[in-house]
Amino acid sequence: MKVAVVGATGMVGEVMLKVLAERNFPITELIPVASERSVGKTITYKENDYTVVGLETAVSMKPDIALFSAGGDTSLEWAPKFAEAGTTVVDNSSAWRMDPTKKLVVPEINANVLTKEDKIIANPNCSTIQLVMALNPLHKKYNMKRVVVSTYQSVSGTGVKAVRQLENEIAGIEGEMAYPYPIGRNALPHCDVFLENGYTKEEMKLAREPQKIMDDRSFSVSATAVRIPTAGGHSESVNVEFENDFDLAEVRQLLSDTPGVVVQDDLANNSYPMPIYAHDKDDVFVGRIRRDESQPNTLNMWIVADNLRKGAATNTIQIAEYLVENNLV
């Protein structure tokens, strides 16, 4: 496969290159792409050096697959140009996720919806991916009615600028701000932009994307998204009300049996999911599994994943692997 990585110099792009190498994705030609600022720079993949090219050049090289992580505006403008050239685009931005003509895919849940005709495929929001990985098996068994999720999201979810802001604050250096306030020793109830309904765009992604991925509108999601000063790894406190009652041991078993999900829930040994533990891992970790004693058929749990891996790069590459394995590119 001739593979373009659009946004190769960014946080997600770098992890994308690492994951492609780790999983030995069948690449015959790698095309690293970034903004004009980075054209001519060198990136290393599997110990070989590659020169970063611009978008125009990359389209003219007609890659089989383009893995996009270069922001929504770049995707809106350039994904259709790649698609027109015959390239299949897997996009990490929010540009196409809720477009009814585009598929929104977490391979463990709905890869089967993909066809050869899908030329632009959307990768869900990082917080959504880890949420649905845990919800899907439970919904199938107990039928969810309502989910209330509060996130504790790392600065790497915002990109390189935000990671630099945190590092500068720790080092006592005054620098460019990615957020309207300091993030060190702080918690910002403000991920992405505010919308007219008082929610942030991130919160509405969490509310809408699960229904599309799970192809089910019978449940609803209410979200509060908070940015905290962790470098990498998103955490979520999740409260789920089901139609049917559940058995806690069975819930743990269902989650343990789900590929890509690891139950980490041994209170006697202080074992529960944490960002420092999930770092650089592809799995979604679930712990603190307990009954909500305030109302019937309701469960509380704590979900953590590496937002740059399963939340972005790994999920994108799993989609690309599915396309290759099923001759869809």
Ligand X SMILES: NC(=O)c1ccc[n+]([C@@H]2O[C@H](COP(=O)([O-])OP(=O)(O)OC[C@H]3O[C@@H](n4cnc5c(N)ncnc54)[C@H](OP(=O)(O)O)[C@@H]3O)[C@@H](O)[C@H]2O)c1
Is the CB of residue 200 less than 8 Å from the CB of residue 127?
no
Residue placing its CB nearer to ligand X in the complex, 95 or 254: 95
By CB under 6 A, tell whether 10 contacts ligand X: yes
Residue from the set 87, 88, 92, 128 that interacts with ligand X by CB under 6 A: 92
Q: Whole-number minimum distance, CB 152 to ligand X, in Å?
A: 14
Question: Which of the residues 192 through 231 are near ligand X (CB under 6 A)?
Answer: none
Is there a catalytic annotation at residue 190?
no
By CB under 6 A, tell whether 34 contacts ligand X: yes
Residue from the set 28, 37, 171, 269 that interacts with ligand X by CB under 6 A: 37
By CB under 6 A, tell whether 38 contacts ligand X: yes
Is there a catalytic annotation at residue 126?
yes
Known binding-site positions for substrate: 153, 227
Residue placing its CB nearer to ligand X in the complex, 202 or 265: 202
Stretch in the footprint of ligand X (CB under 6 A) among 4-12, 19-27, 108-116, 222-230: 4-12
Residue from the set 17, 30, 53, 69 that interacts with ligand X by CB under 6 A: 69
By CB under 6 A, tell whether 63 contacts ligand X: no
Which residues make up the interface to ligand X (CB under 6 A)?
A: 7-13, 34-35, 37-38, 55, 69-72, 74, 92-93, 126, 156-157, 159-160, 307-308, 311-312
Residues with catalytic annotation? 126, 234
